[in-house]
């Protein structure tokens, strides 16, 4: 379908025109005295003007009306009451291992769209200081109607778990299925249409943008390859709508303004500050072919670096189907205490280190220095298995949001949702002492 055409590449400088209006992009300059077809030129900046060229992100949009044509913003009262972006002190700190059963979809007969269905599970930092992150889930069952949303606080990496997302953005349209992800950078307006009840996870970062990890000795190829990232092509609508709503998440709160037209009126655009999607099945796995279990960093799809070299505000890591061939090795993930926070989710299947209890649509959080690792059943099985080459994680896709920040759990995450598994700790209690002289 023409509305789902894409441009491939990561970090590229793209140009796109809606095929219905060729030559809509100005030639040789960004802001001519009069733009082609009577369009308005508008720049969307994702970095400071003076950021180094390798980090400078911006796009020029050529639209029917500029974004500034709207009524004043007002607090959007009563919508998404469990959305948080600040005030992480509402609960006492809790260092315990946490695991959530699948989060409930909206009740039958209710209408909850993507924005209203946002629930914050945990997070850290301060949106005003532009340092930190938040982990949300969305639980929705209807499309956004004459409503667009944008996040003033940071980028959103969206991981659908149940149901595809038909996302209209200012840059064009994205169709994102489970086992795909999409990233909507800060400030880009979008609207989500659903085909039925939908659930998924969101990693939001307040500072910087997601980038591909450096490969170091891996070399030039591997992991997530740049050409597999897809950005939509220009696809506009010229639609007058009385009371079209623009919802902004600003400093952790929601605000709404109205205007008389659709904001998706961009006829052409060019730049490198764009929304994009990626199919997790295209990830090229790197793994050990001799002995020992590699660190999970080899499964990093995207990273948002901090100011400390090699340390991320957030990494997005997956555990895809692969061959396991290590010799004389305990093959599942090792027992671990980490200076990072680890939030895990399951899109489908059964995670290899905990085949029981960790279910699609649920999650777990292992906080800084809280020990974790395989449960008793996994340990005993892997310790006594015949170490022949075998497929691991077929029919499964687990992922991890890992952060150098210590995340606090919200009251909704710890109490209100009523999905926290109080017996999670029991999966390790049967581990026996095997020590012998």
**Is 342 known to sit in a ligand binding site?**
yes
pTM of structure: 0.97
CATH code of the domain in which 329 resides: 2.60.120.10
Residues 159 and 287 in one domain: no
The answer on pLDDT for 354 being more than 70 is no
Residues 214 and 290 in one domain: no
Residue 433 domain-assigned (yes or no):
no
Residues 268 and 299 in one domain: no
The answer on pLDDT for 209 being more than 60 is yes
Q: How far apart are CA 280 and CA 223, in angstroms?
A: 10
Q: How far apart are CA 304 and CA 175, in angstroms?
A: 24
The answer on pLDDT for 356 being more than 70 is no
**Is 336 known to sit in a ligand binding site?**
yes
pLDDT digits (tens, 9 = 90+) for 274-297: 999 999 999 999 999 999 999 999
Catalytic residue ranges: 293
Residues 42 and 162 in one domain: yes
pLDDT digits (tens, 9 = 90+) for 328-338: 999 999 999 99
Residue 311 domain-assigned (yes or no):
yes
| Nearest in space to 363 (alpha carbons), one of 307, 433, 308, 419 | 419
pLDDT digits (tens, 9 = 90+) for 414-431: 999 999 999 999 999 999
Provide the pLDDT for residue 351.
82
Residues 295 and 166 in one domain: no
Domain housing 82: 6-280
Confidence of residue 138 (pLDDT cuts 50, 70, 90): very high
């Amino acid at each position: 379908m023409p509305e789902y055409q894409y441009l491939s590449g990561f970090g590229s400088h793209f140009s796109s025109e809606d095929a219905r209006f060729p030559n809509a992009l100005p030639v040789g300059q960004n802001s001519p005295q009069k733009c082609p077809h009577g369009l308005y030129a508008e720049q969307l900046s994702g970095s400071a003007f003076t950021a180094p060229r390798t980090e400078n992100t911006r796009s020029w949009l050529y639209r029917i009306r500029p974004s500034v044509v709207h009524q004043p913003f007002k607090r959007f009262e009563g919508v998404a009451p469990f959305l948080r972006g600040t005030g992480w002190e509402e609960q006492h700190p809790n260092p315990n291992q946490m695991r959530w059963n699948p989060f409930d979809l909206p009740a039958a007969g209710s209408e909850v769209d993507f924005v209203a269905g946002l629930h914050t599970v945990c997070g850290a930092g301060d949106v005003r200081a532009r340092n930190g992150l938040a982990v949300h889930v969305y639980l929705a069952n209807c499309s956004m109607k004459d409503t667009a949303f944008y996040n003033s606080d940071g980028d959103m990496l969206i991981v659908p778990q149940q149901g595809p997302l038909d996302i209209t953005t200012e840059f064009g349209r994205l169709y994102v299925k489970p086992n795909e992800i999409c990233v909507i950078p800060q400030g880009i307006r979008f609207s989500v249409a659903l085909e039925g009840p939908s659930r998924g996870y969101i990693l939001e970062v307040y500072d910087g943008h997601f980038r591909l990890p450096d490969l170091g000795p891996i070399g030039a190829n591997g992991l997530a390859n740049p050409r597999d990232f897809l950005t939509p092509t220009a696809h506009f609508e010229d639609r007058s709508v009385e009371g079209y709503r623009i919802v902004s998440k600003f400093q952790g709160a929601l605000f709404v303004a109205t205007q008389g037209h659709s904001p998706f009126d961009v006829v052409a655009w060019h730049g490198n500050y764009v929304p994009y999607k990626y199919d997790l099945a295209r990830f090229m796995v790197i793994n050990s072919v001799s002995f020992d279990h590699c660190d999970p960093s080899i499964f990093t799809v995207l990273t948002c670096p901090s100011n400390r070299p090699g340390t991320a505000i957030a990494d997005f890591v997956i555990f895809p189907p692969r061959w396991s061939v290590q010799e004389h090795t305990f093959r599942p993930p090792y027992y671990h205490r980490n200076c990072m926070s680890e939030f895990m989710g399951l899109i489908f299947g059964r995670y290899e280190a905990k085949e029981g209890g960790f279910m699609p649509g649920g999650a777990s959080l292992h906080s800084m220095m809280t020990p974790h690792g395989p449960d008793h059943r996994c340990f005993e099985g892997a310790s006594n298995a015949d170490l022949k080459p075998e497929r691991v994680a077929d029919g499964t896709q687990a992922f991890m949001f890992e952060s150098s920040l210590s995340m606090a759990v919200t009251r909704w995450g710890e109490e209100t949702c009523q999905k926290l598994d109080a017996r999670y700790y029991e999966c390790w209690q049967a581990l026996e002492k095997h020590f012998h002289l």
